[in-house]
Structure 1
Amino acid sequence: MIINSIILFLSAMIGGLYALKVTKTKESQVKSILVFAGSFLFSITIVHILPELFETHKDQFYIGIFILIGFFFQQILEYFTSGVEHGHMHVHKHGNEHSAWSGFSLMVALCIHAFLEGTILAHPDVIHGAHSQGTLLTGVVLHKIPAALALMTVLSCHYNQKKRQMILLLIFALASPFGVLAGHWLEPAGLISEEGMVMLFAFVAGNFLHISTTIFIESSPEHQWNSKKLIISLLGAGLAILSESFFS
């Protein structure tokens, strides 16, 4: 639990600090990283998470319902995040009051998303043995680094003070570790049942599906052939399959 929390914290800090250090980050570079991360996340969701959820638990109908709820909940979160979690770095400057509220709502929505990611990493055995933890952790980390980079690029337009930007980055970086901690204690404390943990896992799987598929769609807005994107996607999927085989 502690190692996972440290890895999640460092991955967010690395992405965010890189954005603060480099004045201009090329969005094309972030997109390439996100396509790879999205392909990896999509692949482990399809190859591992969904089959295990449906195979090992009898309430398959409710599992499907919670996957859908998680999918559409992520759509609602994106209303507040403007797609930062899948690489959107554009921001329109407004008045101070609007900018402050926009920055606050962005942080809250992203922290909710990061917190939920952390909760399922506390219980990888929900869908199978503990081996699934390595694959899931890799997928979340690959997604978190470019997401933190995009977040800090956007927040720098809302807040001019570096100190405030660092505080917000620290809060975001702590969200997933707090999720791991909460996920670890929810069931023993009697706040959620074992079945509830399964539904939570299905809910977050729906989040993953929304994020990963949105990355694919938005990386080629004109729907033109892009050999680079295809190669990066195949590499991400291949690594997901290899890591699944390695950790099994």
Structure 2
Amino acid sequence: MIVNSIVLFVSALLGGLYALKVTKTKESQVKSVLVFAGSFLFSITIVHILPELFETHKDQFHIGLFILGGFFFQQVLEYFTSGVEHGHMHVHQHGRQHSVWSGVSLMAALCIHAFLEGTILAHPEVIHASHSQGSLLTGVVLHKIPAALALMTVLSCQYKSRRTQLSLLLVFACASPIGVVVGHGLGPMGLFSEEGMVMLFAFVAGNFLHISTTIFIESSPEHHWNSRKLLISLLGAGIAVVSEMLY
């Protein structure tokens, strides 16, 4: 639990601090990382999480419903985040009041998403094999770093105070570790049954599917052939498969 929390906190913190240090970070600079992360996360979800969920638990219909629920819940979150969780850095300025509201809604939505990621990392054994934790944690970290970078690029345009920027970064960096702590406490406190944790895992798997597929679609909006993107995607998928075989 402690190691996971530290890794999640540091990855978000480093991504955000890099964005604050490099003031002219361009969306194109993180696209390759995003494609790799999306491919890795998608592959882990397909080759491990979903098969284990459907194989080891009898209530497959409800598992499918929660996966769908997580997929479309992520779509709702993107209404508030404008895709920052998969690397978008679009900034729209329409007055101070709109800027403050968009910053608050952006932080709230991303923290909810990060919190849910932390809760499932607290119980990798829910999907049968605790050795899956390493590859799952890697997938989360790989998309958290560019997400934090994009988040702080946006917020640095909305909040000019460096203290405010750092405070918001710390809040975001703490969201996933808090999710890990809460996730560990759910079972012993009797607040969440094993079946409940399974459904939560399925819900977040739906989140992962939405994020990873959106990265693929939006990395080539004109659907042009891109051999570099294909090679990076295959590399991410290959490493995900190999990591599952080795763990």
TM-score, normalization by structure 2: 0.99
Tell me the amino acid that sits aligned with residue 187 of structure 1.
G
Alignment-derived partner of residue 201 in structure 1: 201
Cα distance in 1, alignment partners of residues 191 and 207 from structure 2? 22
1 CA distance for matches of 2:126 and 2:168?
32
CA drift at 1:246: 1.5
CA distance in 2, matches of 1:107, 1:192: 26
- Map 1:37-186 → 2, pairs under 5 A: 37-186=37-186
Deviation at residue 93 of structure 1 after TM alignment: 1.1
Consecutive unaligned residues in structure 1, runs of 5 or more: none
1:17 aligns with 2:17: yes
Distance (Å, rounded) in 2 between the aligned partners of 1:132 and 1:9: 20
Distance in 2 (CA, whole Å) between partners of 1:107 and 1:171 is 8
Q: Which residue of 2 aligns with 1:32?
A: 32
Correspondence 1:192 to 2:192: yes
CA displacement at 1:10 relative to structure 2: 0.2
Mapped pair 1:231 → 2:226:
no
1:5 equivalent to 2:5? Answer: yes
Superposed displacement of residue 27, structure 1: 1.2
**Cα displacement (A) at 1:96:** 1.1
Q: Which deviates further from its counterpart, 238-247 or 59-68?
A: 238-247
Local SS of the residue matching 1:92: coil
1:145 shift after superposition: 0.3
Give the fraction of aligned pairs with identical amino acids, expressed as a percent.
81
Q: CA deviation at 1:129?
A: 2.0
Q: 2-side partners of 1:27 and 1:90: how far apart?
A: 9
C-alpha displacement of 1:92: 1.1
> 3-state SS of the aligned residue for 1:234?
helix
| Pairwise CA distance, 1:26 | 2.2
Query: For the residues of structure 2 that align with 1:59 and 1:124, how far apart are their CA atoms?
Result: 19
Q: Quick one: distance in 1 between partners of 2:40 and 2:183?
A: 23
Q: TM-score, normalized by length of structure 1?
A: 0.99
Letter in 1 for 2:208: F
* Distance in 1 between residues matched to 2:109 and 2:230, nearest whole Å: 30
Between the two proteins, the alignment pairs up a number of residues equal to: 247
Q: Mark the runs of 5 or more structure 2 residues left unpaired by the alignment.
A: none
Deviating runs (4+, > 2 A) in structure 1? none
Structure 2 counterpart of 1:192, which letter?
F
CA–CA distance in structure 2, aligned partners of residues 129 and 86 of structure 1: 27
